[in-house]
Each structure stands twice: as structure tokens, then as C-alpha cells.
Structure 1
Amino acid sequence: MASSKSTLYPLLAETIKKAGELFIPPDRMEVLQVLIDYIQSKVDEGEEVNLNFICTHNSRRSQFSQIWAKTAADLHGIPANCYSGGVEVTAFNERAVNSLKRSGFRISSKANGSNPIYSVFYSEESAPITAFSKTYDDPANTASQFAAVMTCDHADENCPFIPGTEQRIPVRYEDPKAFDDTELEAEMYDKRSHQIASEMLYVFSQIARG
């Protein structure tokens, strides 16, 4: 892994080490290769890498994906703008926020009605990753040309056209929401978060810098 100018928080460094050791099945490798090829093509052309991770409510999987992708990109020295959005505005689910805290991210929030705005840090030196529920075309997602990375089947199947998309890339994940308010809630949120971490770390590890 490329060295980062920032020193990861110790618990997060441990989480990332474990995530990097998770097995990625061959069928998932094929799914991820499409994303790798897109990022590599942008790097080769000297163009901005803009990734917009999209799920219906922008509350769990797309938030995990944005945060882990940005962290992985920075760790591997690949300049990338990582966004997330949905087709409905809800809130960044507190269960997902708590899972990221358990992984070692430092997270603060400020009130924004029922949709708090979170600042997510992977080190003392890192710029905050801003996270809140929004539509995919929210002004916070400033890129005019991007890859739409579809993280859930509902959004993938019900958004036939996304303006500004250079390429649509399905990278679907199972929803940990199914385990809300059960004994397995924390375990399954962490499992999904760590799967996404593993895959985003793998994706950016495969990018050759010019």
C-alpha cells in the first residue's frame, strides 16, 4: 500500500489491515474490474476521477462506499473526488455512522434538521469527508462528469438515466437494514462496511499512477 502523508488513527489502521486481508471472490473481482478500468482510464488521460456512489436513500451503503473509497484513494495516492447520493433524501443512518466509529473514524456532526451533516476524518491531518443524505444531483456533488457507481439494486433498476454520467457501474451490496433492531445489527453493519472497505482498498491498489 502506498504511504499516506497522514497518519491513520490506530484503530482505523487496524481495521484497514484486516479489511485488506478479506477474501474477494472471483465474481466480485469481475464486478470491481469495471470500476478499476474506469479509474485507470481517467488517470491515464490526466483527467479528474469523479465517483458518485448512488443508492436509493443515500443512508447506508452509498455513504460507506463514499467514505471508504475516498480513504482508499488517499492512502494509495490516487486523486479522486468521491461523492454519494440517492433518489430520495432521508438521513445518514445513525447505525452506519456508529459502525464507522467502531472502525476507527473520528466523526463530528452539526444539526441540519432531521438530516445531520457529518464530518468524517481518518487522521488528524486529513481533510474532512462531508457526509449527509442528498440526491445524486445535489450541488454538493460538484462534478459535472462522473461515474455513477450503483450500490443497490433498487436505485440501479429505477434510475434509467442519470445526467452527467460518463459510465454507469453496478457494484451492488446487500443492505444491512435487514438487521435493524436485531441482535445481529452491529455485527452486520460492520460486516458490510468492512466488505466495502476491502473492495475499495483493492480497487485503488490496482491503479497505476502516471
Structure 2
Amino acid sequence: MRLFAGLVGLLDGSLGGTSIGPSGGSSGGGTGVAPGREESLGRLVEFVQQRRDSGEPARLVFICTHNSRRSQMAQFWAQAAAAHFGVGEVECYSGGTVATELNPHAVSALRGCGFQVQMKVPTDNPVYEVRFAEEGAPIVAFSKAYSDPPNPRDGYCAVMTCSDADEECPVVAGADLRVSLPYEDPKVADGTGREGEVYAERCRAIGVEMGWVFARVRSGA
């Protein structure tokens, strides 16, 4: 599947060069991810590889408190990365401990990175269609609790993208594996005039790490 050009550049950049940490800042490192992150990311690689080896779909549910920013970005980037690196039988979802809305600044950041995001149902919790390629069905996106449909009820890997959700959910019902992968909340920039910059940095940081994961699944690393 051929992804939109902007997405390809960032995902291919995850294969090496400058590292981008969970706050979006850069550091020399040569692996594409910041020091200290590889262990958690490696657990994701192992989960996907094991499920594929057993002939089962690898289901990933990205979880943060409000399912409004980081968990949604991670879902879209992970699904795009799986497609870009030719890793089939991967299903990506997201949810929160509560439902709110997909934040408008997050929508802008996703568009800036190359996703096509179109609002389909304008409500207090809008429904969007998100595309990373011309072909294939769009991802239907809205804020939801992690236990709400269409998320799987069991047999998945819970990826905790914020420390608050990690602390509030000592047990994630139905998860076969839990991975802590927190990113700094871009919400800190709300009302500062730096929303565009900070949300874009966080979106790119998540994209680099999801690219790192699926590049290694493809290579069997």
C-alpha cells in the first residue's frame, strides 16, 4: 500500500538518524527513538511477531485518560506504519478511561503530518474519517472508553500512552499484555499560542516510534 507522501518520509526516517523523544525533542542516537524507550517498544515488536507467528491478528489498544490526543495519534500512526512496512493482520484501536472528543489541535497536527482527516458527524464528540492512503477503508475515529465498541474485549495488548491512565488502570480488563509507553501531553500548550508547534512535535514523535516498531516486525528483529 502506498501511503501519502508526508507519512512515508517520517516513517522511513524512523529507521535511523536523529532520535525523537516522547516530548518531541531531538537527540543524537542513530536508532530513531530516544534512549530508554527501546525496551517498551521492543515488547510491542515481540507481541506483534508472536501473534503473527501463531496465525492470530495482533490487536493493539492505545490508552490515555481522555482518548483525545496521544492515544488517537498512536492508533493512526501504528496502523499506517503496519501498512507501510507490509505487516498484515494488525488491528489498532484507542480508548480512554473516559470519553471526551478528538481534540481539534490533534486533528490539525495529524493533517500537518500528512493524514487526511474529515469530520463526518459534528457533535460534542465528533466522528471523523482518517485516511493514510487513497486505497483502503478509512479509520472511523471518535473518543471512547477503552472498553467501548469497536475496541476488542480481550486478547489485545494495552499500550498506555499517558502516565495518568497507567496509574488509574492498575488492571486493564481483557488485555493479554500491558506496555507503558507514555508521551508528554501536548495539552500543556493549550492557550499559549504554541499549540501548532507542540502538537506537531508530539505527533511526529509518536510516528517515529510506531515506524520503529513495525520496521522491526518486518525485519524479524
Per mean C-alpha deviation after superposition, the further-off stretch among 120-129 and 191-200 is 120-129
Counterpart of 1:73 in structure 2 is: 82
Q: How far apart are the structure 2 equivalents of 1:157 and 1:128?
A: 32
Counterpart of 2:28 in structure 1 is: none
Q: As a proportion of its length, which structure holds more strand?
A: 2
The two structures have a TM-score, normalised by structure 2, of 0.87
Per mean C-alpha deviation after superposition, the further-off stretch among 134-143 and 64-73 is 134-143
Does the Cα contact within 8 Å between 1:69 and 1:82 map onto a contact in 2?
A: yes
The two structures have a TM-score, normalised by structure 1, of 0.91
Per mean C-alpha deviation after superposition, the further-off stretch among 93-102 and 126-135 is 126-135
Q: Where in structure 1 are there 5+ consecutive unaligned residues? A: none
Does the Cα contact within 8 Å between 1:15 and 1:104 map onto a contact in 2?
A: no
Q: How far apart are the structure 2 equivalents of 1:133 and 1:111?
A: 13
Deviation, structure 1 residue 48? 1.2
Does the Cα contact within 8 Å between 1:36 and 1:206 map onto a contact in 2?
A: yes
Deviation, structure 1 residue 77? 1.6
Q: Secondary structure at the residue paired with 1:58? A: coil
Could you give the per-residue CA deviations for residues 173-194 of structure 1, whole angstroms, max 9, x where no partner exists?
1000001121321111011100
After superposition, the Cα gap between the structure-2 partners of 1:53 and 1:160, relative to the gap in structure 1 and judged at 3 Å, is same
Does the Cα contact within 8 Å between 2:63 and 2:162 map onto a contact in 1?
A: yes
Counterpart of 1:144 in structure 2 is: 154
Please say if 1:198 is aligned against 2:208: yes
Deviation, structure 1 residue 75? 1.0
Q: Secondary structure at the residue paired with 2:60? A: strand
Counterpart of 1:8 in structure 2 is: 3
Amino acid paired to 2:6 = L
Counterpart of 1:105 in structure 2 is: 115
Task: Report sequence identity in percent.
Answer: 43
Q: For 1:1-210, what aligned pairs fall within 5 Å after superposition? A: 5=1, 7-18=2-13, 21-23=17-19, 24-78=33-87, 79-111=89-121, 113-142=123-152, 144-208=154-218
Q: How far apart are the structure 2 equivalents of 1:190 and 1:19?
A: 16
- Large movers: runs of 4+ above 6 Å: none
CA RMSD for the aligned pairs? 1.7
Does the Cα contact within 8 Å between 1:22 and 1:198 map onto a contact in 2?
A: no
Q: How far apart are the structure 2 equivalents of 1:94 and 1:168?
A: 28
Could you give the per-residue CA deviations for residues 112-170 of structure 1, whole angstroms, max 9, x where no partner exists?
52001111111211321121100001111135310110000011001112211001111
Q: Where in structure 2 are there 5+ consecutive unaligned residues? A: 20-32
Amino acid paired to 1:82 = C
Size of the aligned set, in residue pairs, is 205
